[in-house]
Each structure stands twice: as C-alpha cells, then as structure tokens.
Amino acid sequence: MSTRFLYFPAVASETVLDTYTQIGQWIWRSTNVWWNNIDEGTWSSTGTNVGTYLALDSGSQIRTDNLTFSANDPGGYPATARIRLTVTPSSGGPAHAVEGAATSATDSRWYWRDAAGGLLVLTEAQIEDGGTFSWDSSDTIKIEIFTP
C-alpha cells in the first residue's frame, strides 16, 4: 500500500471503480476532531450516497487517521482497492489528497497510509476548519475507490 500525499495526479495504470463528489455542506466538529455530514453528495455509479462498493451515511467521518464509511457498505471491492480523498479548496488553493487502505472493521474504516505502507496520522492542525490544508465547509470533497 502506498500513499501519494499532496498534489498528486492519478496514475495511468490505475482503475477508478467509483467516484463520490460532495460540494460543501460538510461540518468540522472540533470537540470530536473530525469532519462529518459527508453524506450529502453522490457516487458516480448510482447518483446517491450509496455507491456500488461504499456508502456514506450520517455516521461517516473524515478523521486524522482514517475515513470512516458506513457499516452498511455494499462491499465487493477488490482486495487491492484503495480510496483517495481529494479536497479542493473553494478559496483557490491547491487540492490536497491522501490515500487509504481498507481494514476489516465493521464500520468500513480506511486508514491513511504513508509512502512505505505504514499508518499515516494527520494532525488536527492540518485538517481542521481553516487549518494548514485550508479546508473549509464550502470545499468540494472527492472520494475515489480505485485499484492500482
């Protein structure tokens, strides 16, 4: 597993299985140190918040160490699948992206990975509303599930 972090393009050899897009509406919860309300967008495969492989619901969160999807994911994705979260700042800055790999957790947590395949934990200062990544609640979230 590898993570390409910040400013990375898709690799020509990868296959994107499904793409989720949400424009704004997500909420920073400083007491919990996560973003939620990330179930207001749609998957390209279905046009709803439940895609072919993954689902986002009211319990889904973007955390410092993972992206938590629904416990009711449809599943069936290849064992080599990864997710990529890209946040495009509405203020015009660069997109920030991070990749994750699935675990066997029942609530479908995809933990961020570094270039060596180890766990990557972002800081609150990086991901918080107005933090060093400049994320805010009007930014666009794009989540891709893909195989390398």
Per-residue model confidence (pLDDT) at position 73: 87
Per-residue model confidence (pLDDT) at position 48: 97
What integer best gives the mean pLDDT of the chain? 83
Does 2 score more than 90 pLDDT? Answer: no
CB distance 108 to 71 below 8 Å: yes
Token reading at 110: 């995809």
pLDDT tens for residues 91-135?
Answer: 655 555 566 666 665 678 888 887 677 788 889 998 999 888 889
**Dist CA 146 CA 78 (whole Å):** 9
